[in-house]
A and B are shown apart, each in its own frame.
Chain A
Amino acid sequence: MSAVGKISLRGGLLPRRGARERSRLLVFNHAVLILLTAFAVMPLLVLAFNSVKTNAEIGLNPLGPPTQVIAENYASAWERGDFATTMGNSVVYVVATIAAELVLGGLAAYALARRKPPGSDMLMLYFLVASTVPVWMYIVPLFVQFRAWGLLNTMHGLVIVYVAMNAPLTIFLLRSYMIDLPGELEDAARVDGANEFQVFTRIVLPLSKPGFLTVGLVVGLGVWNEFFLALTFIHDPSMFPITTSFYKFTDRFSRDWALTSAGAIIVIFPIVALFLALQRQFIEGLAEGGVKT
């Protein structure tokens, strides 16, 4: 949508936004964004530098570019960190958690945002209060329960823990995306004989797609980077998540920073790829809506 078209439609009724003002603003916007982006990226550049240095060089020169590139760090990190196993496991944890979370959380958020059954307020209060409890307070009782139910050392057991721990944030975020949706479409669908589930899947779900994407991203990242719960509930290395791979490079009082940095890059890579893929969806949503200037 070109700005010129709009302006010409409005004719003389509105004060014109001059092209010069517009381009000044554009320059300002880009300048600010470039500055902030540099702030976000610079430390990562350091990480990338360190991932191809020797440990001795990291000790002496922890910031600058490497004097010689040790690309083998990546191969060693991949092998010693057993990333082939742990990355696959983490993908399973992330996908299963996101799937369960979005389905169950989406249903719950829909009910809370659009149907508001009696008791909704109490329920929200419950989720809020529950999200304030630090995990160390209940990790031992939770372990005892899980052991009794045979959920220890199983991938679905850990997924259940993740789904539960992410539930409050999921419900609240999704609800906040759904709450402002116009109700007419739903009513129309109901008049057409759709049941509640169909209203949810056909009307509300497509309309709150950005919300679902965002929540999926947030929950997925949380699971991808989680460590403490995974080690508490999983005791079989064939089911360990990717975060445990970092610790392959750590001894009691020392850490192989070269390999840890290379490992860190290996860990971020899939996430960045996924984020870029999701970004395309965001952009599509943007194009469909034709929002803003």
Chain B
Amino acid sequence: MKQFKILFSIAMLFLAISSAGAQDVTTVTMWYPDGSSAECRADIIAEGFNAIDPAVHLDIVLQANTWDATRVAVVGGGGPDIVRTPGPSFVYEMASSGLILPLDSFADEMGWRDTFFPWALDLGLVDGELYSLSDELETLIMYYNKTLFAANGWTPPETMDELIALAEEIEAAGVTVFSHGNADWRPTNEWFVGEFMTQIAGPHNVYKALTGQIPWTDESMVEAMETLDMMMERGWFGGGVDFYVTNTFDTNLAALGSGEAAMNIEGTWRFGNINDFFGEAADNDNEWDWVSVPSKTGEDLFTIGMGNTSSINASSAHPQEAAQVLTYYFSPEVQAELLAACGKGPAPVHLAEDAMTDIDPRIARAYADLSAANADDRYGYTTWTFWPPRSDVYIYEEIERVWYDEITVMEYLEGLDELFAEELAAGDIPPIPAR
């Protein structure tokens, strides 16, 4: 008993010490996902901002599992001043519940309409009002082991037909075609569903389906999903579906780097650590490169995605100061610095001409090509940015039933169509920029 009392009083003492502390200046809080490059980002953002104005202090909290914590906090009437969500569909829910503030006046006042690409700003609209700013522009590309390709005399394919022909060749050489797998992140499935829809059915058909003009059971969608299913069936994705679902990102990338696998369709987020698996760091002599994911027509198409969004909490005591932080954070200079120093995917803002000079040319080329694709109507859609939440979950979970031959492609698309129609009718749809 005595021991308990002592332990308890020690504990209480700790608690008393830890709860002390107070501040005078206006503090703006922002919760930021923790991770390998998080410190690098937080230092640039917070130190840079706090050097400008001594009256406003930005406090960045690096936090694992940010989104679950954020939504519980914001719904519970608390949370940080700057609210970050994983995508527009959650912004819609928060905006229509009055949990975040409309940003139009800030956008006018602080020049956001000039900083951002117009289509990117439109992604933050809910019922015509601006509620969020998109961050971390991303797209899917096809990485390949350049050294392996050269040794075998393979050339990167441009069309879907070329890709299929090449895959057969790679398979015959005893190499895994794509080092794909979803064991770490089940929604990996949706990367391929969305990508094949855009590359095979074409972005214009996807746009029509997203706006309810054609059903998801359209012939072009069926063809896209049949092609994906065929590739999975033939074992091109990491050796067959039951292997695919047990492959982790580490083993996938190690296989690509070592030449056990030839290609990998992945996001531009992979720029952050792909070098760990090639060359000296991985004890091999291989090099990587990328091409755009082959399309049916051979046109270079890029799907657009957003890693996350930023808004201002309706319960924030300092919305004006929070908007200042957003202005600073989304400024082209800071975004360029974050890209160069920490490998962060830039926000969809007009970066300066020379922003890309200091970074790996392969990475610079990706962002340049993506911008160009946006400008001349060669962009497509990623599912996590443009589909409503329930359809999105359906897309990545139910596709496994197709791959495990429980349902047909047609049944999969019918299910998607039904669910999507419900969400479309309820208005739970992220904004789709007109094309």
* Per-residue interface assignment for chain B, residues 270 to 297, with 1 indicating a CB less than 8 Å from any chain A CB and 0 otherwise: 1011001100011100000000000000
Q: Which chain A positions have C-beta within 8 A of B255?
A: 59
A99, A205, A228: the one within 8 Å of B7 (CB): A99
* Per-residue interface assignment for chain A, residues 252 to 292, with 1 indicating a CB less than 8 Å from any chain B CB and 0 otherwise: 11111100000000000000000000000000000000000
Given contacts A58-B250, A140-B72, contact A244 B64 (CB under 8 A): yes
- CB atoms of B77 and A235 under 8 A apart: no
A-B contact count (CB 8 A): 150
B11, B62, B73: the one within 8 Å of A92 (CB): B11
- A143 within 8 A of partner (CB): yes
- CB atoms of A96 and B14 under 8 A apart: yes
- CB atoms of A59 and B251 under 8 A apart: yes
- B202 within 8 A of partner (CB): no
Q: Which chain A positions have C-beta within 8 A of B62?
A: 237, 248
Q: Which chain B positions have C-beta within 8 A of A251?
A: 35-37, 269, 272-273
- Cα separation A227 to B63 with both chains bound (whole Å): 11
- CB atoms of B65 and A96 under 8 A apart: no
Q: Which of B43-101 contact A (CB under 8 A)?
A: 61-65, 68-69, 72-73, 75-78, 80
- A21 within 8 A of partner (CB): no
- CB atoms of B61 and A236 under 8 A apart: yes
A40–chain B nearest beta-carbon distance, Å: 23
Nearest B residue to A95 via CB reads B11
Q: Which of A98, A155, A227 has the most CB of B within 10 A?
A: A155
Q: Which of A98, A99, A248 has the most CB of B within 10 A?
A: A99
- B235 within 8 A of partner (CB): no
A103, A238, A253, A256: the one within 8 Å of B4 (CB): A103
Nearest A residue to B251 via CB reads A59
- CB atoms of A155 and B14 under 8 A apart: yes
- B298 within 8 A of partner (CB): no
- B38 within 8 A of partner (CB): yes
- A30 within 8 A of partner (CB): no
Nearest B residue to A97 via CB reads B11
Given contacts A239-B18, A255-B249, contact A96 B257 (CB under 8 A): no
- CB atoms of B250 and A257 under 8 A apart: yes
Q: Which chain A positions have C-beta within 8 A of B8?
A: 96, 99-100, 103
- CB atoms of A248 and B34 under 8 A apart: yes
- CB atoms of A244 and B34 under 8 A apart: yes
Q: Which of A56, A102, A144, A255 has the most CB of B within 10 A?
A: A56
- CB atoms of A56 and B283 under 8 A apart: yes
For the complex, count residues of B whose C-beta is within 8 A of A. Answer: 55
Q: How large is the interface on A (under 10, 10 to 19, 20 to 34, 35 or more residues)?
A: 35 or more
Q: Which of A80, A139, A227, A251 has the most CB of B within 10 A?
A: A251
Q: Which of A82-106 contact B (CB under 8 A)?
A: 92, 95-96, 98-100, 102-103
- CB atoms of B65 and A227 under 8 A apart: yes
B31, B63, B69, B184: the one within 8 Å of A253 (CB): B184
A60, A62, A152: the one within 8 Å of B78 (CB): A152
- A249 within 8 A of partner (CB): yes
- A55 within 8 A of partner (CB): yes
- A24 within 8 A of partner (CB): no
B279–chain A nearest beta-carbon distance, Å: 10
Q: Which chain B positions have C-beta within 8 A of A254?
A: 36, 249-250, 270, 272-273
- CB atoms of A62 and B251 under 8 A apart: yes
- B253 within 8 A of partner (CB): yes
- B1 within 8 A of partner (CB): yes
Q: Which of A95, A244, A250 has the most CB of B within 10 A?
A: A250
- B254 within 8 A of partner (CB): yes
- Cα separation A150 to B348 with both chains bound (whole Å): 39
A54, A237, A253, A255: the one within 8 Å of B61 (CB): A237
- A115 within 8 A of partner (CB): no
- Cα separation A86 to B257 with both chains bound (whole Å): 35
- B12 within 8 A of partner (CB): yes
- CB atoms of A95 and B7 under 8 A apart: yes
- Cα separation A155 to B185 with both chains bound (whole Å): 32
Query: Which 10 residue pairs of A and B lie closest in terms of their CB atoms, listed nearest first?
Result: A59-B254, A247-B64, A96-B11, A56-B282, A143-B76, A99-B8, A251-B35, A99-B7, A59-B250, A92-B14
Query: Given A55-B250, A59-B254, list of 20 further CB < 8 A pairs?
Result: A56-B277, A59-B250, A59-B255, A80-B39, A96-B12, A96-B14, A102-B4, A139-B72, A140-B76, A144-B76, A155-B14, A155-B15, A235-B80, A237-B61, A237-B63, A246-B64, A248-B36, A252-B307, A254-B36, A257-B250
| Chain B residues in the interface with A (C-beta under 8 A) | 1, 4, 7-8, 10-12, 14-15, 18-19, 29, 31, 33-39, 61-65, 68-69, 72-73, 75-78, 80, 184-185, 249-251, 253-255, 257-258, 267, 269-270, 272-273, 276-277, 281-283, 307
Q: Could you write out 8 A-B pairs with CB less than 8 Å apart?
A: A54-B281, A55-B250, A96-B14, A96-B15, A100-B8, A227-B65, A228-B65, A248-B36
